[in-house]
Structure 1
Amino acid sequence: MLLSERSIYFERIKFRNAFPFCVRDGESYIYMGRNYSLQIVVDETIKVPEAKLSRGKFVVPVENKDFDRVRLTLENWYKDKVKKKIFERVA
């Protein structure tokens, strides 16, 4: 990596951390070229939240409206889907 590429990379990381990703119920997210609205479902019995696509919505069941937990759940869901798509195309 060139020095300028490296500095651009770190500037992007700093910018991303300066403005934290905010999640709100009903907010729109893009997956595979389509928009899906976020539905946060509060359920005290949920210990490990897991995002899923259901009827045109991202559904994230959580034990309370901890938005950091919802954000991490969405990030993990996206990362998992990206890995699957990459392996499908490489294999």
Structure 2
Amino acid sequence: MSQLGPEQFHEGVSAGPGPRGSDEDFAAALAAEGVPAGVGAMLGELFAVVLDGRNSHTTDGVQRALGRPPKDFSDYAREVAATGVWTP
């Protein structure tokens, strides 16, 4: 299986309700990478629920759990990547 990065899935995808790639395009991309049809169908269902808008609002759960404001994931990923911990 080839190395897939997030850039291959961002095009046409919305984190909330709105336009995103078609389910058929997603299934075809997974199949092209050798993902079994059943797993592809399960992932399609999962992402349909995740991206249907029900998760578009935020709460204060992170702050309550950690006792500090949440950090943007992009900032977190850049900071951790800079440590070299993800480099083989």
Is TM more than 0.5 here?
Answer: no
Larger helix percent: 2
Q: TM-score, length-normalised on structure 2?
A: 0.40
Larger strand percent: 1
